[in-house]
Structure 1
Amino acid sequence: MPPPANKAYQLKVSLLGARPPIWRRLLIAPDTTFQDLHRIIQLAMGWQACHLHMFQAGDDRLIGDPAEDFDGMLNFQDET
């Protein structure tokens, strides 16, 4: 049996409106959670995770940390 192929997703993370452009190219495993992706972006950009965050899927679903949705108004999916 052949060994499993190494697979990864390549992402480009850009800061909108930054001049000169600020961006990072990331390689992540297919099983990376949004919680892990948040941490990866923080490290890649040199940030210290001191702000709220949320991801928006192509179908407009919101994904984030339930602890940051204090009143449940954002109604997003758990990023884990």
Structure 2
Amino acid sequence: MDNNWIENQIRPIAIGRNNWLFAGSLRAGQRAAAVMTLIQSARLNGHDPYAYLKDVLARLPTQRVSLVHELLPHRWFAPS
């Protein structure tokens, strides 16, 4: 038996760990973590991360503050 599937799933985390040491500052690291969280959440909810971020970033400036929660990955629907 092997666990290649698991190793392939955690490889980006292991490689990224070394790269994230050089984020530049604490705030830059926090921003990178927020973006990576959104991307992974979009994947877990079955969305294409590129399409999700493209739509959300286009809609965000005109979105009412009280409705921002609708742009989260678990509530977002791809525009038709």
> Which TM-score tier does this pair reach, normalised by the shorter chain?
under 0.3
Structure 1 length-normalised TM: 0.26
Structure 2 length-normalised TM: 0.26
Question: Comparing both structures, which one devotes a greater share of its residues to helix?
Answer: 2
